[in-house]
Structure 1
Amino acid sequence: MNGKIALITGASSGIGEATALRLAADGHHVVLGARRTDRLAALTAKIRADGGRAEFRALDVTDLGSVRAFVTSAHEAHGRVDVLVNNAGVMQLSTLDTLRIDDWNRMIDVNLRGTLHGIAAVLPILRAQGGGHVVNVASTAGLRVDPTAAVYCATKFAVRALSEGLRQENTDVRVTIISPGFTHSELADQGGDPETQAAARAASERLGIPASAVADAIAYAVGQPAAVDVNEIVVRPTVQT
């Protein structure tokens, strides 16, 4: 019962779901947030059936009030928050000349603003209690830029930049960037240019690693002693160039 209180956004599928399962299996108490509460309820039930500790709350990371309520409720229930995994994300691919501005704004709102909302909600708590850990899920798209992915890449470059800034500004809060490559998930299932999204889904199916591989990396960083800050882990398929 010495596990950490770990909050996970975007926990209803993919990397978020896998991370919830892995951290719960490691003995941490996971607090799950996403919009699809039916999936969260099923995941929470599975974790509890397996002997783990879990709870969930509806969460929209684009809404600062929703994020603050998510964090505050966990803090009030448990007296502390040890880990926040900022995982919620969307990838809506298209070339810039298609002017899919709603998709651009959605990626900015979820990938970047959602991460900032998580930091804003949890940082005062972590500093007041003298420590904690923020894990931001970026992407290998934050390390290079590809055609059709300019805006998505821009948001992930930004997540890496703000993560490094957060790390430098705090000596008692650990900050980890997790940058996955092709991963089996629902990331490319919504929005974007249909042909481009279909190609991305096909590539992920053909090349992708299981979401559990990324969850293992997150668990490794979370499991380190308080004095050890694993700053960045890149996890990609061996076959990905």
Structure 2
Amino acid sequence: MSTLDSKVVAITGASSGIGAATALELAGRGAAVVLGARRTDRLDSLVAQIRDHGGRAEMLAADVTRRADLEQLVALAVERFGRLDVLVANAGVARIAPMADLDVEAWDTMIDINLRGVLHGIAAALPVFREQGHGHFVTTVSTSGLKIVPTQAVYAGTKNAVRTLLEALRQESTDGALRTTSVSPGFVRTELVDYLGDATEREQAQKTMAALGISPDAVARAIAFAIEQPDDVEIGDITIRPTRQG
């Protein structure tokens, strides 16, 4: 029996990439998963796939920039499975450009999704975790926040902001009832770079991703590892990247 058999896990950004891989990995290990994303057609297929293999899954159309959507996602988990043990805040976007381009709209998008979206999840789940006496926040951050490079200032800034707020939350929660985990993936074969505005940068990023990127399944396994630890063990930070990444 897997140690995840009794877990109930909500995942944002679950329609593709790391989010979808995590849903499949955790459901395959026995967890009940509650999946949120904007692309409900993909969620439908993912839920069907999980159920066809005997897993437990529910879904909800969820935009992390809307606090009410996160509240509904948490409420769905509690209503369907009686509680929520883990919230995986995975939804994120990347917009890469020099600061001098002054692409304020892209800055706002990254702040709203990458940072505010995580805060909305915390606001929705923390009261449930406190009432239960246990809970676990897992967030997908990035190695871009560990190695600062040009054109990624705001993206890295949002990811490091999330890393900071989770560490502060951890220090505020040393009563043993709450765990936090920040997962920093490097190059992973996802759709993250497919939406870069500059065509040249997008093509270069896609080539790099194809050449170096590891499978999202690798990140999903790392997330599962953090979740399956005994309640008195917290995996605070995980960095996972290709062996050839500089």
User: What is the aligned counterpart of 2:7 among 4, 19, 41?
Assistant: 4
User: Is 1:95 aligned to 2:98, yes or no?
Assistant: yes
Find runs of 4+ consecutive structure 1 residues off by over 6 angstroms: none
Unaligned 5+ segments in structure 1 are none
**CA offsets 1:21-76 (integer angstroms, 9 cap, x no match):** 00001100000000000000000000111111111000000011111111112212
Q: With structure 1 as the length reference, what TM-score do the two structures score?
A: 0.97
Question: Structure 1 CA distance, aligned partners of 2:166 and 2:198?
Answer: 30
State how 1:32-111 maps to structure 2 within 5 Å.
Answer: 32-111=35-114
Identity %: 54
Query: Is the Cα–Cα contact under 8 Å of residues 93 and 149 in structure 1 kept in the other structure?
Result: yes
What is the alpha-carbon distance in structure 2 between the residues aligned to residue 77 and residue 181 of structure 1?
34
Aligned counterpart, 2:234: 229
The unaligned stretches of length 5 or more in structure 2 are none
Displacement after TM superposition at 1:238 (Å): 0.1
Q: Residue in 1 aligned with 2:214? A: 209
Aligned 8 A contact 1:180 1:214 in 2: yes
Write the distance in 1 (CA, Å) between the matches of 2:94 and 2:199.
12
CA RMSD of aligned residues (A): 1.1
Indicate conservation of the 8 Å contact 2:34/2:76, yes or no.
no
SS at match of 2:137: strand
**Is the Cα–Cα contact under 8 Å of residues 92 and 193 in structure 1 kept in the other structure?**
no
How many residue pairs are counted as aligned between the two chains?
A: 241
The structure 2 residue matched to 1:176, chosen from 170, 174, 181, is: 181
3-state DSSP of counterpart to 2:180: strand
Q: Is the 8 A contact 1:214 1:235 kept in 2?
A: yes
CA contact under 8 A between 1:15 and 1:214: conserved in structure 2? yes
Aligned-residue offset at 1:197 = 2.3
- Report the residue type matching 2:188 in the other structure: T
Report the AA paired with residue 185 of structure 2.
Answer: P
